[in-house]
Chain A
Amino acid sequence: GAGVSQSPRYKVAKRGQDVALRCDPISGHVSLFWYQQALGQGPEFLTYFQNEAQLDKSGLPSDRFFAERPEGSVSTLKIQRTQKEDSAVYLCASSQMARRYGYTFGSGTRLTVV
């Protein structure tokens, strides 16, 4: 596709429910990043993939957060036993080159935990 596609666009989850957020990067982009953006704040780094390898997961806030990119293209961010503090917009970005330059962001998934 022409851009980074994320689904669902909106997700409402009950506290304790597991959720899965999908990211379709730009075709051929090697690098893929997940960011979390709380209301009124800048995006915060969660994790980074180069092809299928997860090279940096230092931003994941707890072991309830898990990300995968098994075939080096589509990625899924999974949050287990969601908590209210997980409510945020989850942004995915991809880049043609390994971790440098030209990040293209998707429109994000707005997660609300009630």
Chain B
Amino acid sequence: GESVGLHLPTLSVQEGDNSIINCAYSNSASDYFIWYKQESGKGPQFIIDIRSNMDKRQGQRVTVLLNKTVKHLSLQIAATQPGDSAVYFCAEINQGGKLIFGQGTELSVKP
């Protein structure tokens, strides 16, 4: 029979509210982190990145926060819109240069 995928963590927000998506990464030696957005039937799309020597970086409506002490990454989306509905993945590049994805979070925006 067909296999059933794992249930992704979900976040449901009202249109116009701010969203915060969290991620724990595994390798303390990773020096570069990226957030990707993946819509149904599409490949991951780059949103924002941050180097390990920074703790915050802002883009258009998005902010990434990095806490190296607890190996935690978060993505904040301001004024969330229906078009933001997607699965969001954090990813780290390890010392070997390999891009490793974390578990995704499915964001659902209610109009």
Spell out A's residues near B (CB within 8 Å). Answer: 4, 33, 38-45, 48, 56, 84-85, 87, 91, 93, 98-108
If A40-B5, A40-B7 touch, does A45 touch B99 (CB 8 Å cutoff)?
yes
Residues A87 and B5 in contact, CB atoms below 8 Å apart: no
Does B25 make an interface contact (CB < 8 A)?
no
Residues A42 and B103 in contact, CB atoms below 8 Å apart: yes
Binds A, one of B13-21, B43-51, B66-74: B43-51
Name the residue of chain B whose CB is nearest to the CB of A105: B43
Contact of B99 among A33, A41, A87, A108 (CB under 8 A): A33
Does B83 make an interface contact (CB < 8 A)?
no
Q: How far is the CA of A99 from the CA of B94 in the complex (A)?
A: 11
Contact of A107 among B32, B43, B46, B100 (CB under 8 A): B43
Residues A102 and B46 in contact, CB atoms below 8 Å apart: yes
Q: By the criterion of a CB under 8 Å from any partner CB, how many residues of chain B are at the interface? A: 28
Contact of B44 among A87, A98, A100, A105 (CB under 8 A): A105
Q: How far is the CA of A85 from the CA of B1 in the complex (A)?
A: 11
If A42-B101, A42-B104, A45-B99 touch, does A101 touch B43 (CB 8 Å cutoff)?
no
Residues A103 and B46 in contact, CB atoms below 8 Å apart: yes
Does B61 make an interface contact (CB < 8 A)?
no
Output the least CB separation between A33 and chain B (Å): 7
Residues A99 and B97 in contact, CB atoms below 8 Å apart: yes
- In chain B, positions 15-58 with a C-beta closer than 8 Å to chain A are 32, 34, 36, 41-46, 49
If A41-B6, A42-B102, A100-B32 touch, does A105 touch B45 (CB 8 Å cutoff)?
yes
Q: How far is the CA of A43 from the CA of B103 in the complex (A)?
A: 9
Q: How far is the CA of A40 from the CA of B12 in the complex (A)?
A: 17
Output the least CB separation between A94 and chain B (Å): 11
